Amino acid sequence: MKSIISYNVNGIRAALKKGLDVFLETEQPDIFCIQELKASSDQFDENVFINMGYNCFWHSAQKKGYSGVAILSKEQPKEVVVGMDMEKYDQEGRVLIAHYEKFSLISVYIPSGTTGGIRQDFKMDFLSDFQNFVIQLLKKQPNLIITGDLNICHKAIDINHPERHKKSSGFLPEERSWFDDFLNVGFTDAFRKTNQEPNNYSWWSYRANSREKNLGWRIDYHLVSNTIQEKINNYTILNQEKHSDHCPIKLEIEI
């Protein structure tokens, strides 16, 4: 059994000050994927994670205090690939891939598009290019787990008051349609395989007491390729953890 936790920490330095290391020491996942580092590895103490037994792989954005992804793994991967070999995305620290013996894992932070205009266009371009990248990767490694902040609520059940958000980036028809197409490539939303209940979210705005009212969005996912989706054992949204405006999501899979 492997436990894989993904967490948009909204700044690793801030999250560490709020006890992220204590959370990780308690949970001890086999793999810990991080999004929105907002730092390079020389700006925080990497030994916090190394001392817990993790091999640490960072892909920070070139822009200071922005974006960035990581994979912390108890097992040393066979290979780690930084980015998609596409400069306009890779300079933002969006994608990191770890290849293991029996599966591969992607930690991804999809652009938000919330400022609209150019960034929404950038997001849609990223979605298309990322899908093509994954299709090629599946040819080499059919057992693939994609985890991270996808910045899209797939279905109405994944967002509070869906009728209010029809024109919001993250719930636009074209984004949700992309999500349908992406799953049809051969993926399962691991959470929805185990839980069909509403009001399960992974991100809440800092405004208007959204978290206390549970006015959230489920935008963080584990997508598991259909070749191994029957190996999904358990899935938990750890919504009591508050080191970020997101919360951790945990997949347990027999692989």
Residues designated catalytic:
149
Contact predicate 208/164, CB 8 Å: no
Helices 118-140 and 173-184, axial angle in degrees (round to 10):
0
Measured from the Cβ of residue 197, the count of other Cβ atoms closer than 10 Å reads: 7
How would you classify the pairing of strands 55-59 and 69-73? Answer: antiparallel
Q: In whole angstroms, what is the distance from residue 245 CA to residue 255 CA?
A: 30
The token duo for 14 is 């801030």
Q: φ, ψ for residue 179 (rounded to 5)?
A: -60, -45
- C-alpha neighbours within 13 Å on the C-beta side of residue 5: 23
Which residues are CB-contacts of 124 (< 8 A; sequence separation ≥ 6)? Answer: 113, 174, 175, 178
How would you classify the pairing of strands 2-8 and 31-35? Answer: parallel
- Helix ranges restricted to H, 95-214: 118-140, 173-184, 190-194
